[in-house]
Structure 1
Amino acid sequence: MNATLLAVALSLVSAAAYACAAVAQERLAARITGTGDGFLRLLGSGVWWSSVGLNASAALLHVAALKYGPLTLVQPLGALTLVAAVPLGARLAGRRVTPLEWRGTGLTLIGLGALLLTASGPAPDDTLTLTEALAVAGVTMAVIGVLSRPGTRPGLRHATASGFASGVASALTQTVTVAATDRSGPLLAPQVIVVALLVAAFAVGGLFLSQTAYRGGLGAPLAVVTLANPVAAAAIGLTLLGERLQGGVAGLFLAAGGAAIAAYGVVVLTRSPRDEVHSRTPAEDFLPSIPDQPEPAALHLSSP
């Protein structure tokens, strides 16, 4: 199979797994919003660990896709996560997807599709040096710190931070994948080990940031994550890994227009209603439901 087609196929399956994980995270976030022990409840939730497993599976598929395709091709395909997650989340909430959600999703996908048209190329063969990887990590941590500083309201800022974290993790993953498979150096070289640890740190950080972001609903935060992820990864690919947009000046205009349309789609999604999820107490999870009983009929005493 052609390397590009294989990268696309792996990315599609990865996007489906990410969509299922995002919906599970959003439903769980709605249940624990406002509780002081939210982190501990996450660790004790089977739904949470299921979403972690789905995210891990999706990440492995994503790593495999990066072996056969460049960042500028693989990352925009993550937009398909949005296509699957929005209708799936609505179905689980017992409602239909609203026209506003379809419109926002469509605009976001059209914009990212324009970006995808400019992103193609051979299988990656460049890697970041250790100095470059550490510099990227430092800048990313500073940006994430600003976006998720204490006191900020959970929502689009945390979603942006999550997208940046996962996008940088993907860019660093390409370095690990290429370095570990080209057999030109030792598998456990210091560069590979350090970059692999950075990948793990940003992947886990992005997971928790997205969990926080989904307290504000699914559509808009997921759209922001979907948009910020390829932007961060493509920036690294274009500036440090020698990747190029196709089409010259016309390609640059197409990419800029696509980014603007996708950003507008995110704005549209921010206006969509949030699904209400009934929050049950721990006691309610173990108590059987008691059907409503009819009120006793009034007792009428007739006088003799």
Structure 2
Amino acid sequence: MNATLIAVALSLVSAAAYAAAAVAQSRLAGRTEPSTGTLRLLGRGAWWSAVGLNAGGALLHVAALKYGPLTLVQPLGALTLVAAVPLGARAAGRRVSRTEWRGTVLTLLGLGALLLTSGGTAPHETLSLVEALGVGAATMAVVAGLSRPGTRPGLRHAAASGITSGVASALTQTLTVAVTDHTTGPLFSWRLLTVALLVSAFAMGGLLLSQTAYRGGLGAPLAVVTLANPVAAAAIGLALLGERLQGGAAGLVPALLGTAAAVRGVILLSRAQARPMAVTGEEAETAAGETVAGGAPVSGAPSRVVIGSPRQQDRQALTTEPRAVEPRAREPLTVRPSAS
């Protein structure tokens, strides 16, 4: 089978695993207080489920990096967004809004344009020890800047998560090529040990940063992660690993157009997530006419929520609603003089 097809197939399954992990992390973030520390997360089964899904996606991603270059494999991670946005909406019990669909489509179209400009040959170059250390230091500096206190912490943490994950992928490709292609140097060396430590640090850092980012919602942070990841990896691939865009300098035009479309998609998703509690008039009317846990819809019902079986609802109505009083009962008492 063609190496490019293998890389694409592995990337598709990896994206599905990452999407399920993102939804699990988002739900966990919604049930967790902002002050909850990392050690508290380690004691929750939902956290380890997300870690397992991320680990499965990462292993498939590593395998894909063996058969395809960074400029091919990384943009395919955009399929994570395709699966995660509707999955997250379904988990929240709502429909995907038009703004979210538009943002998702624009992001995918933009990353698709980047995908068309990527090369399709299997990777052969690896990072030297100096290059790996330089990439690691630059990444830590960028992440430190994005993690500082300020406005929009969710999107900034998402950007930091995407950058660290993209750098981890670039470093992982050095490991996979070095392990499977013995012409790049000795299998056990200080270079590969350093790269392995950097991969572990950035992979775990990206996971924790995304967990923090998802506290503000799923769509916008995931879109930022999806966009920052291939950009960071492609920058390393083009600058240090000898990868090239299709069409040479002319390939920059669709790449820039794709980047603009993807950024527009991220902005739309950001706006959609900025109003997560907004309720339209139609939704309010629908909610007012519905009951919870088995009650039948009541047209024009007030905002009172009825819970339980019909008999329990009748009992609740007796205890919560005032009884009707006959008009005569409200009239003041009169005293009639007795006939003498």
Confirm or deny a common fold (TM above 0.5).
yes
- What code does the residue aligned with 1:174 have? Q
Could you tell me whether the CA contact under 8 Å between 1:7 and 1:68 is conserved in 2?
yes
RMSD (CA atoms): 1.9
The residue that corresponds to 2:58 in the other structure is 59
Say if 2:115 is the partner of 1:116: yes
Aligned-residue offset at 1:63: 0.5
Question: How does 1:89-108 map onto structure 2 within 5 Å?
Answer: 89-108=88-107
Work out the CA distance in 1 between the residues paired with 2:269 and 2:60.
28
Work out the CA distance in 2 between the residues paired with 1:53 and 1:232.
24
Change (3 A) 1:107 1:151: closer
Work out the CA distance in 2 between the residues paired with 1:186 and 1:247.
35
Question: How does 1:188-267 map onto structure 2 within 5 Å?
Answer: 188-267=188-267
Q: Count residues in correspondence.
A: 286
Aligned-residue offset at 1:153: 5.0
Work out the CA distance in 2 between the residues paired with 1:37 and 1:57.
26
* SS of structure 2 residue aligned to 1:33: coil
Structure with larger RCO (C-alpha < 8 A, sep 6+): 1
Work out the CA distance in 2 between the residues paired with 1:154 and 1:39.
18
Q: TM-score, normalised by structure 1?
A: 0.90
The residue that corresponds to 1:143 in the other structure is 142
* SS of structure 1 residue aligned to 2:182: coil
> For 1:245-300, what per-residue CA distance to the aligned partner results, in whole angstroms no more than 9, with x for missing partners?
00123210110010000000000001114667xxxxxxxxxxxxx9695346699x
Could you tell me whether the CA contact under 8 Å between 2:108 and 2:262 is conserved in 1?
yes
> Please, which runs of 5 or more residues in structure 2 have no aligned partner?
278-306, 324-340
The residue that corresponds to 2:36 in the other structure is 37
Could you tell me whether the CA contact under 8 Å between 1:33 and 1:215 is conserved in 2?
no
Could you tell me whether the CA contact under 8 Å between 2:154 and 2:221 is conserved in 1?
yes
The residue that corresponds to 2:46 in the other structure is 47
- What code does the residue aligned with 2:256 have? A
- What code does the residue aligned with 1:86 have? V
- What code does the residue aligned with 1:182 have? D
Could you tell me whether the CA contact under 8 Å between 1:70 and 1:122 is conserved in 2?
yes
For the pair shown, the structure with the greater C-alpha radius of gyration is: 2
> Please, which runs of 5 or more residues in structure 1 have no aligned partner?
277-289, 300-304
Could you tell me whether the CA contact under 8 Å between 1:163 and 1:206 is conserved in 2?
yes
Aligned-residue offset at 1:151: 5.5
Change (3 A) 1:38 1:32: farther
Could you tell me whether the CA contact under 8 Å between 2:119 and 2:243 is conserved in 1?
no
The residue that corresponds to 1:272 in the other structure is 272
Question: How does 1:16-27 map onto structure 2 within 5 Å?
Answer: 16-27=16-27
Could you tell me whether the CA contact under 8 Å between 1:111 and 1:257 is conserved in 2?
yes
Q: TM-score, normalised by structure 2?
A: 0.80
Work out the CA distance in 2 between the residues paired with 1:250 and 1:125.
24
Work out the CA distance in 2 between the residues paired with 1:259 and 1:153.
21
Work out the CA distance in 2 between the residues paired with 1:190 and 1:38.
34
Aligned-residue offset at 1:150: 4.2
Say if 2:131 is the partner of 1:132: yes
* SS of structure 1 residue aligned to 2:272: coil
Could you tell me whether the CA contact under 8 Å between 1:93 and 1:275 is conserved in 2?
no
Work out the CA distance in 2 between the residues paired with 1:89 and 1:39.
23
The residue that corresponds to 1:281 in the other structure is none
Work out the CA distance in 1 between the residues paired with 2:99 and 2:11.
27
Work out the CA distance in 1 between the residues paired with 2:186 and 2:128.
15
- What code does the residue aligned with 1:162 have? S
